């Protein structure tokens, strides 16, 4: 019998939504780095639901709508109250002919992505996401990657989402990014409910702890951590591993191997520690992990549930202090 995520591990956010502390990220379902069969997609989604994962994060960006479409197909007939969805705004998908995509192997080549953080763009994006998923509503909407559009996201995208939240159309507003400076600004200048921060609070990179996490803790803003494996190196640190969406440097690979060696003394895998580390910070409420099959879901649930002795965490802290 495969292990499940305990219902006791669910956390209630200030918006009233309860989510599993292990969530399913769906960039992989858009074919990120390699193509997936529809059978593998279905297996990943339904295994996650069967094992107690109720939180699923998606975005138009993931395969240019493919991840959302695949999610919708596989959620058809599933009781709506049994899952929580977050999707994102900030990119519109516009018609184009045969545009290639080097990141998402299953991407829709008949649309292109255009950044749009206007109020009208936000409304359009959300409506199109709902249509792709076959849903009437989602619980959470995140402003996605406004690296070069922070001011517009603050002055136009956020107020539009605030109206939707006030009307009860959505329950929570967030921002999702790979950097911590702009999300910290949102925490301080708006009334957002959550931040999805990818890759900036992991065993290799704790930069979000300097600004974002303290700010979020002070304002009761939930932090969701994505990219816990830093694109793969913290799942299996070998030559050719990916780090931050590119090949890992020798320095980073060396650090990951050091972490791996320390953990071996405690019979702990680096994947187990990578998944559990973010949740040791009080600001972090959940993590997201992408899975390519039901087998990967089961492996990740087992790693999430694994017992890690406090001595192992102390050994990692000692290693970090040596590096600093």
In order along its 324 residues, the chain shows pLDDT tens digits of 457 765 567 999 999 999 999 999 999 999 999 999 999 999 999 999 999 999 999 999 999 999 999 999 999 999 999 999 999 999 999 999 999 999 999 999 999 999 999 999 999 999 999 999 999 999 999 999 999 999 999 999 999 999 999 999 999 999 999 999 999 999 999 999 999 999 999 999 999 999 999 999 999 999 999 999 998 899 889 888 878 888 888 999 999 999 999 999 999 999 999 999 999 999 999 999 999 999 999 999 999 999 999 999 999 999 988 765
For residue 42, give the 3-state DSSP assignment.
helix
Strand-pairing partners, residue 226, are 198
pTM: predicted TM-score of the whole model, two decimal places: 0.95
Residue 205's pLDDT is: 94
In eight-state DSSP terms, residue 136 is S
The predicted structure's pLDDT at residue 8: 63
Closest CA to 173 of 150, 198, 190, 188: 190
What does the pLDDT read at residue 288?
Answer: 98
Query: Which CATH superfamily is 18-249+270-308 part of?
Result: NADP-dependent oxidoreductase domain (3.20.20.100)
| pLDDT at res. 1 | 44
Catalytic residues: 62
Domain spans in the chain, listed from the N-terminal domain onward = 18-249+270-308
**3-state SS assignment for residue 95:** strand
* Model pLDDT, residue 6: 59
Q: What pLDDT was estimated at residue 2?
A: 54
214-218 long-range contacts, Cβ below 8 Å, gap at least 24? 214/283, 215/184, 215/187, 215/188, 216/187, 216/283, 217/282, 217/283
Residue with tokens 């890992």: 248
């Amino acid at each position: 019998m495969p292990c499940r995520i305990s219902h006791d591990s669910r956390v209630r956010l200030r918006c009233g939504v309860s989510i599993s502390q292990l969530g399913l990220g769906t960039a992989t379902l858009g074919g990120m780095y390699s193509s997936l069969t529809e059978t593998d997609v279905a297996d990943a989604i339904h295994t996650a639901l069967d094992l107690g994962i109720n939180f699923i994060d998606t975005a138009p960006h993931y395969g240019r709508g493919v991840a959302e479409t695949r999610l919708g197909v596989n959620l058809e007939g599933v009781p709506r109250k049994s899952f929580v969805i977050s999707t994102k705004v900030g990119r519109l998908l516009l018609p184009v002919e045969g545009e290639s995509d080097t990141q998402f192997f299953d991407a829709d080549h008949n649309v292109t992505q255009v950044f749009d953080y206007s109020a009208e763009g936000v409304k359009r994006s959300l409506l199109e996401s709902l249509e792709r998923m076959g849903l009437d509503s989602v619980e959470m909407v995140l402003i996605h990657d406004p690296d070069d559009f922070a001011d517009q996201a603050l002055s136009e995208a956020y107020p539009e989402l605030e109206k939707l939240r006030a009307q009860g159309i959505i329950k929570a507003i967030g921002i999702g990014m790979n950097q911590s400076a702009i999300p910290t600004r949102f925490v301080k200048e708006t009334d957002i409910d959550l931040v999805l921060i990818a890759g900036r609070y992991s065993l290799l990179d704790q930069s979000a702890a300097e600004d974002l996490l303290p700010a979020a803790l002070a304002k009761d803003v939930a932090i969701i951590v994505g990219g816990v494996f830093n694109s793969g190196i913290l799942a299996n640190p070998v030559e050719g591993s990916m780090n931050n969406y590119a090949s890992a440097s020798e320095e980073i690979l060396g650090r990951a191997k050091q972490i791996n060696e320390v953990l071996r003394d405690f019979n702990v895998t680096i994947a187990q520690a990578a998944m559990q580390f973010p949740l040791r910070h009080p600001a972090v409420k959940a993590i997201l992990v992408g899975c390519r099959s039901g087998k990967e879901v089961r492996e990740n649930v087992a790693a999430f549930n694994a017992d890690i002795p406090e001595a192992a965490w102390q050994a990692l802290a000692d290693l970090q202090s040596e590096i600093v």
